[in-house]
Amino acid sequence: MSRSAAMLIMGVFTLYFLTPIWWLLTTSTKTGGEITSTAPLWFTANSAGTFLTNLGRLFTYGDGLFGRWLLNSALYAGVGALIGTVIAAMCGYALAKYEFRGREAIFNIVLSGVLVPATALALPLFLIFSRVELTNTMWAVFLPSLVSPFGVYLARIYAAASVPGELLEAARLDGSGEIRTFFTVSTRLMAPALVTIFLFQFVAIWNNFFLPLIMLRDQVLFPVTLGLYAWNSQISQIPELRSLVIVGALVSILPLIIAFLALQRFWSSGLGAGGVK
């Protein structure tokens, strides 16, 4: 295919994917009434001012609830993805580098977890957490977010490919313990995969909606996705929420965009390695 045809196709798709985000950007600079009465994909004369007003109202409405939601999401997604990555890396590394009975069986069981959608697990999890009286707490959202079967898969593939057995032998001969070897030698070699796992987990937890919906009653604990959903369901009662939901949605995708741009270099090399094997 010629170069220009490829560019054209990519251009069309870029436009297709960016239009909703562009709409979000322009609409967040409008007042409730202007949303319906002005051109949907362009700004109004006093867009900048309205945007700042909307932003101010967003963070002050309901005693600063939105800020709290953002912090919750950052906590669930940031800490959850960090710990989740460490667990997945250790698990995948162990499956790749140690010979033990039942290794393949364990790996296959973990892998089958990739096939089960998180939504299907929400209700059983709710009943389990009810039993130990942890529903409507941060733990109810945090603990289930720590496991990532896909992360284990990726870590195993990458560890097998990028951590040479000879290097581990050398480390052992030099007197380094297994744990120390893992953290000082192996994780560095696995870094691209770890970043990929971290990003995957971060996005998955940030966008997680169904689990918090079922687990949480107290809106102070809501992540930003659930909070915006709750506001959106109240628009018919409080129409002023319409513009807050829109500007809130814009603010809520910014951390994801930042995370992607910052970690992009590592991200692509990690994906490639997983794909070939």
Rule CB under 8 A: which residues touch another protein? 32-33, 35-37, 123, 126-127, 130-131, 133, 135-136, 213-214, 216-219, 226, 229-230, 233-240
Cα–Cα distance, 164 to 157 (Å, whole number): 13
User: Which residue, 107 or 229, has its beta carbon nearer to another protein?
Assistant: 229
User: Which residue, 121 or 185, has its beta carbon nearer to another protein?
Assistant: 121
Instruction: Please choose, from the candidates 207, 215, 111, 209, the residue with its C-alpha nearest in 3D space to the C-alpha of residue 156.
Output: 111
Task: For the CB of residue 220, give the shortest distance to another protein in the complex, in Å.
Answer: 9
User: What residues have CB less than 8 Å from 35, skipping those under 6 apart?
Assistant: 27, 242, 243, 246
User: Which residue, 86 or 214, has its beta carbon nearer to another protein?
Assistant: 214
Task: For the CB of residue 253, give the shortest distance to another protein in the complex, in Å.
Answer: 20
Cα–Cα distance, 267 to 238 (Å, whole number): 42
Cα–Cα distance, 193 to 182 (Å, whole number): 14
Cα–Cα distance, 217 to 249 (Å, whole number): 21
User: Which residue, 81 or 216, has its beta carbon nearer to another protein?
Assistant: 216
Cα–Cα distance, 205 to 118 (Å, whole number): 11
Task: For the CB of residue 214, give the shortest distance to another protein in the complex, in Å.
Answer: 6
User: Which residue, 160 or 230, has its beta carbon nearer to another protein?
Assistant: 230
Cα–Cα distance, 121 to 135 (Å, whole number): 15
Task: For the CB of residue 190, give the shortest distance to another protein in the complex, in Å.
Answer: 39
Task: For the CB of residue 110, give the shortest distance to another protein in the complex, in Å.
Answer: 28
The number of residues in the chain equals 277
